[in-house]
Amino acid sequence: MKKYFPILVMLLTGFAFTSCYDVPEPYGINAGNIEDEEEVIIEPSGSGTVADPYNVAGLLKAVANLASGATTSTELVFKGIVSQVKNDLNPQYGNLSFYVSDDGKTTEQFYVYRALGLNGEPFTANEQVQIGDVVVVQGLVTNYNGTLETVQNKAKLLSTTNTSGGGGESVDILGDVTFYEESFSSSQGDFTINNVKLPGSSNRVWAINTTNHYMSASGYVSGAMYDSEGWLISPPINLKKATEAYLTFDHYCNKFNVDAATQCAVMVKADNEQEWTQLAIPEWPSGKFVTIANINLSTYVGHKVQVAYKYTSTISSAGTWEIKNFKLTGFGETGYNGTTWEDFTNGNFDLWDAAATKPVGWQEDTQKGNATLSRSEDCLSRPYAASIAGVALGERRMASQAMYFDPGTYTVTFSAKASTQAGARVQAGYWPQSATATIYDQDATGATKRTELTNERWQEISYSFTIEEGTQASLVIAIPTGSKDKAVLVDDVSINKER
C-alpha cells in the first residue's frame, strides 16, 4: 500500500513554550531510574516531518496551546527515548501505551497513547517497547482533558532502536518503499567495481566473500601493506517518484592502524552531477558489524542516484572494510532502475567507439541494429552524423540501446538526408521487447511510411507511438531493401513524451 507523507507544517501559530509538562506516573507504568542530577535544559528542535522530526521539547512546544478536546488536523512526527512503559497490549487492536522524553527521564515527557507498531502493524507483545528504546512516532495529537497525548490507534512507530535486553541492538528502517537493495550474500549484484590502484601483486581491491556473505576491500597482500584505491559503486537507483529516501547498510572495519574514516568514505552522486559528495557516517565500528541506518538522501529525490564505497590503504595502514545489507528505502513510488527513455543520450552522435564503427548507445543488439554505420562530418550538428549504408536486398536498421518506456505516447524527431544520391529513402519506428520485428510508422492506408530524401538539404522527420504497458524498446531508423549505394545520413535524434 502506498503511503504519502507530505511536508508537515506547524499546526498552530503563536505557541507559548511550556517549560515543564510533568505527568504523574499512572498505575501499572514501569519507569526508568530517576537520579538527582543538575537539570539540563533541552531546547526544542525539529519541524515535525519524517525528514526532520520534533524532539519531545519541540513537540510539546508545538501543541502547547491545543485546546481541551481539540486534535491536530495533521499527523506530527517526533523522536524520543522511551521513559515509561505500560504493559497494556490490546490483543484486538495490537496497540501499546508508553511515554517518551528527550533524555529518557520521567520529566518533560509525552504520552504516546495506544499506538500501533512499525508502519501501522499491530504490536504482538508488550516487550516490543521497552525503557531506553529510541523511537520515531507519527500520529495525531489531542488534548484529552488536559493531557497531551496521541489519539488512540492514530499513531504508529516509523522507527525503533531497541537498546534494551542485554545490550543487543536492532534497527528498523524508515519508509514503506524499497527503491533498491543488495545483501551481497552471494555476489556483488549490480554493483560495479573500479579498482583505481591495485595493491602489490593483487588483481583486486574489492571482492565478494561468499563464505561470510559480504563485500570486502583490503590493501593487505601476502603479509604486506600497500597503497591502493578501490570503489564499489551501486547501479543508478531511481528516486524520480520518491518523496523521501534513506540509506541503510551494515559495515565493519578491521585492523586499520588509523581512524578508518580517514581511509574509507561513502559517496553519493545524482545523475545530473559530475562530482561525488561524501556522506557523514556516524560510526566506523571495529570488532563487529554495525548497522548504519536511515542516512537521509531526500535531497536527491527527483533524480537517479548512485552510492559508492571508496576504500584506500597505505603502506602503514591497510585494514579491511566489509559491507553488507545495502538498502535504499523511503516513501513515494519506485521507478525503473535501468536505462529509461529519459536517459537517452548521444542523439547528435558526438560519441563513437574507438574504431568509429558505432555511436555510443547504438547498435548494441545486432538483431535490431543490423546496418553498417560510419561516422560522417557531413552533419547538421557538429561534429558528426551517422551514416547508414544500404544494401541491394533487405532493410538495414540503426537501433538505439534498449530503454524502458512508461505507458504513454512518445514522439521521436530526427533529421535525415541522402548521403550522395537523391532518391534515398528512410523509415522509422520502434522495436518493443516483446515484438519480433520493428513496428514502423504507418501512413493513412496502413502501409509503412517512407520518406524520400535529397542530398541537398536536411529534412526533419517525426513519428509517434503509444506504449500501453511499460516495456523496454529500441528506437529504429532504417533504409528499406533495394537501397544499395544510397546511404542515409541521420542526426539530432530526440524523444519527447506527451504527458
Are 23 and 83 in contact by the 8 Å Cβ rule? The answer is no
Report pLDDT digits (tens) over 411-465: 999 999 999 877 899 999 999 999 999 999 999 999 999 999 999 999 999 999 9
Q: CA-based angle 350:356:358, to the nearest 5?
A: 75
Taking a C-beta distance cutoff of 8 angstroms, is the pair 419, 376 a contact?
Answer: yes
Q: Which three cell numbers stand for residue 111?
A: 504520552
Alpha carbon 14 to chain centroid, angstroms = 38
Pairing, β 439-440 against β 424-432: antiparallel
- Which three cell numbers mark 304? 537517479
State the Cα–Cα distance between residues 127 and 117, nearest whole angstrom.
12
Q: What is the DSSP letter of 37?
A: -
Query: What's the CA gap between 217 and 323, in Å, rounded?
Result: 9
29-172: CATH topology is OB fold (Dihydrolipoamide Acetyltransferase, E2P) (2.40.50)
Number of C-alpha atoms within 13 angstroms, CB side, residue 437? Answer: 5
User: Residues 299-302: contacts with CB within 8 Å, 24+ apart?
Assistant: 300/239, 300/245, 300/268, 300/270, 301/239, 301/242, 301/243, 301/244, 301/245, 301/332, 302/239, 302/240, 302/242
* Region of 387 on the Ramachandran plot (φ > 0 left; ψ -120 to 50 alpha; else beta): beta
Please state, as a whole number, how many other Cβ atoms lie within 10 Å of the Cβ of residue 308. 19
C-alpha to C-alpha distance for 207 and 220, rounded to whole angstroms:
13
Say whether the peptide bond before residue 383 is cis (omega within 30 degrees of 0): yes
- Per-residue confidence (pLDDT) for residue 22, from 0 to 100: 37
Closest CA to 62 of 113, 152, 112, 75: 75
Check if the beta carbon of residue 118 is closer than 8 Å to that of residue 151: no
Between the alpha carbon of residue 136 and those of residues 30, 118, 295, the distances in Å are 20, 10, 14
According to CATH, where is 2.60.120.260 located in the chain? 341-498
DSSP states along 266-311: EEEEETT-SS-EEPP-S---BSS-EEEEEEE-GGGTTSEEEEEEEE
Residues 253 and 311: beta-carbon distance below 8 Å: no
**Distance (Å) of CA 92 to CA 111, 116, 122, 156, 376:** 21, 12, 9, 16, 74
Cα distance between residue 387 and residue 418, in whole Å: 9
Residues in the chain: 499
Q: CATH fold of 341-498, please?
A: Jelly Rolls (2.60.120)
Grid coordinates standing for 22? 510533568
Looking at residue 38, what is its pLDDT? 52
What is the reported pTM? 0.58
Q: What is the DSSP string of 447-470?
A: SBP-EEE-SSS-EEEEEEEEESS-
pLDDT of residue 20: 35
The DSSP code sequence of 76-134 is EEEEEEEEEEEEEEETTTTEEEEEEESSSSSSSEEEEEEEEEETTPPP--GGGS-TT-E
CATH number of this structure's domain 178-332: 2.60.120.200
d(CA 342, CA 406): 10
* b/e burial code for range 112-138 (CB count within 10 A of at least 16 → b): bbbbbbbbbebbeeeebbbbebbbbbb
- Please tell me the distance from the alpha carbon of residue 427 to that of residue 397, in angstroms, as a whole number: 9
Domain with CATH 2.40.50 in the chain: 29-172
Residue 477 near residue 429, CB atoms below 8 Å: no
Residue pair 129/123 in contact (Cβ under 8 Å)? The answer is: yes
Q: Which residues of the chain have pLDDT under 50?
A: 1-28, 32-37, 163-169
Q: Side-chain half-sphere of 350: how many Cα atoms within 13 Å?
A: 6
**Cβ–Cβ < 8 Å for 95, 86:** no
